[in-house]
C-alpha cells in the first residue's frame, strides 16, 4: 500500500490523515526526519508557516525535506505548506524549503475575508471543489514549468510543478477527498505502480 506522510510538527495534521485513509493509502504522521525514508509522498499541512519553519529547524528537518523533494518523491503543500515550498515569498529575503518555482504572497485575501469558502474548478481533478480558505496565501507568479490548476478571483490557488503540488486552501477540511486522491496517485506513479 502507498504510504503518505503528513509533517506532524504543527497544523492541520489529523484531518489530512483522515483524508489519506479515505483515499485508500496508509497515513503516517512524520515527527522525525528518519521517517521520511518510509514514505512515498509527503503532505505539508496548513498552520502557520513561520512557526512550522521554526520547528523544522529545531528538529533538524530542513536538509532532509529538500533531499526528499530532490529525490522525486511527491510533496504536497496546503496553505502554510505551500508557503514552505515556494521559492519566493513576498516580503522575505529567503525561502523556506524553496523547491517550487512560484512566488507567493501570505494572507493575501484581505482581512475582511480571513476565512471563506468558494466552489472552484480544479483542472484534471474536479469541476466544482468546495475550497476552504483560512488566512490563505496565493501564487502571484509561476515559473514556466508550473501547471496552473485553479484560480479564484484571478488569483492562482492551486498548481503543480512535476512532483510538487501546492494549494492555497485546505482540501482536508471537507468530505471531498479528490485532491488527496490525486496526490496519492502522484505518489503511486512516482513509485512506478
Burial 26-65 (b: 16+ CB within 10 A, else e): bbbebeebebbeebbbbbbbbbebeebbebbeeeebeebb
With the C-alpha atoms ordered 8, 17, 50, 67, is the resulting torsion angle positive or negative?
A: positive
Give the residues across from 57 on adjacent strands. none
Q: Residue positions in the annotated binding site for L-glutamine?
A: 47-49, 106, 134-135
Q: Which is nearer to ligand GLN, 11 or 74 (CB)?
A: 11
- Our answer to whether residue 63 is catalytic in this structure is no
CB of 141 to ligand GLN, least distance (A): 17
Strand duo 26-30 + 3-7: pairing: parallel
Q: Which is nearer to ligand GLN, 80 or 164 (CB)?
A: 80
Phi, psi of 151 (to 5 degrees): -130, 150
Q: Which is nearer to ligand GLN, 29 or 92 (CB)?
A: 92
CB of 89 to ligand GLN, least distance (A): 9
Question: Which one of residues 106, 138, 152, 160 is an interface residue with ligand GLN (CB under 6 A)?
Answer: 106
Tell me which of 138, 152, 172, 177 is the catalytic residue: 172
Burial class (CB in 10 A: 0-12, 13-18, 19+), 192: exposed
Binding residues for ligand GLN restricted to 15-44, rule: CB under 6 A: none
Stretch in the footprint of ligand GLN (CB under 6 A) among 57-65, 69-77, 78-86, 138-146: 78-86
Question: Which one of residues 5, 47, 74, 166 is an interface residue with ligand GLN (CB under 6 A)?
Answer: 47
CB of 144 to ligand GLN, least distance (A): 26
- Positions annotated as catalytic residues are 79, 170, 172
Amino acid at each position: 500500500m502507498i504510504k503518505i506522510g503528513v509533517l506532524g510538527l504543527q497544523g492541520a495534521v489529523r484531518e489530512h490523515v483522515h483524508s489519506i485513509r479515505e483515499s485508500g493509502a496508509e497515513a503516517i504522521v512524520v515527527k522525525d526526519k528518519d521517517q521520511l525514508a518510509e514514505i512515498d509522498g509527503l503532505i505539508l499541512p496548513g498552520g502557520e508557516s513561520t512557526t512550522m519553519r521554526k520547528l523544522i529547524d529545531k528538529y533538524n528537518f530542513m536538509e532532509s525535506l529538500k533531499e526528499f523533494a530532490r529525490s522525486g518523491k511527491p510533496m504536497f503543500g496546503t496553505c502554510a505548506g505551500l508557503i514552505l515550498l515556494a521559492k519566493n515569498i513576498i516580503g522575505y529575503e529567503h525561502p523556506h524549503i524553496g523547491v517550487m518555482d512560484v512566488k507567493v504572497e501570505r494572507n493575501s485575501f484581505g482581512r475582511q475575508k480571513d476565512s471563506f469558502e468558494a466552489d472552484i474548478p480544479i483542472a484534471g481533478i474536479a469541476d466544482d471543489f468546495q475550497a476552504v480558505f483560512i488566512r490563505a496565501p496565493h501564487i502571484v507568479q509561476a515559473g514556466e514549468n508550473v501547471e496552473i490548476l485553479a484560480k479564484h478571483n484571478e488569483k492562482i490557488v492551486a498548481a503543480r510543478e512535476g512532483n510538487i503540488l501546492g494549494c492555497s486552501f485546505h482540501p482536508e477540511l471537507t468530505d471531498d477527498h479528490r485532491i488527496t486522491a490525486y496526490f496519492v496517485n502522484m505518489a503511486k506513479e512516482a513509485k512506478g505502480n
